[in-house]
Amino acid sequence: MLKTILSISGKPGLYKLISQGKSMLIVESISTEKKRIPAYGNEKIVSLGDIAMYAAETEVPLIEVFASIKRKENAGVASIDLKKADANQLREYLAEVLPDFDRDRVYVTDIKKLISWYNILVANGITDFDATQETTEVTTAE
């Protein structure tokens, strides 16, 4: 599910992959406007399924972090206010959902982006953060 959700640098929000063109991707905004736009190869495009958070021993896939936030928030939006929270509050929040995150390599901006992405997904009804289903989809697609 997260493999088709994309982050495009320089563009706000998240996008869903619709199709591929000759030298571009056609993506649709996840927000309520559902606007379709082209995304070109010179833009930094990253699938959320390919992102992981640094932990003490290993890297934790983003889908597992989202699932942990979902459990903490009872499938609702994040309880922390990104505009008012300071760096310590953001680190404390992440420590609740990912206790062994690497405090040296995970920056405050990363935490803000993580929570922002989670809120966008939940607000638009994308809440199926089951890691076992994700690995099954990847395995069967190969």
Domains detected in the chain: 2-48 (2.30.30.730), 51-141 (1.10.10.1650)
Instruction: Report how far residue 79's alpha carbon sits from residue 54's, in angstroms, rounded to the nearest whole number.
Output: 23
The answer to whether the CB of 68 falls within 8 A of the CB of 98 is yes
Partner residues linked to 19 by β-bridges: 26
At 18, phi and psi to the nearest 5? -100, -55
Q: What is the pLDDT of residue 2?
A: 80
What are the angstrom distances between the C-alpha of 37 and each of 28, 60, 87, 88, 125?
A: 6, 31, 34, 37, 21
Q: What is the pLDDT of residue 137?
A: 43
The greatest distance separating any two alpha carbons of the chain, rounded to the nearest whole angstrom, comes to 46
pTM listed for this prediction: 0.85
126 falls in which pLDDT band (50, 70, 90)? confident
32 falls in which pLDDT band (50, 70, 90)? low
Query: In sequence order, which residues have a C-beta less than 8 Å from that of residue 65 and are 6 or more positions away?
Result: 53, 97, 98, 114
3-state secondary structure of 21: coil
Residue 142 corresponds to which tokens in the numbers above?
A: 């190969």
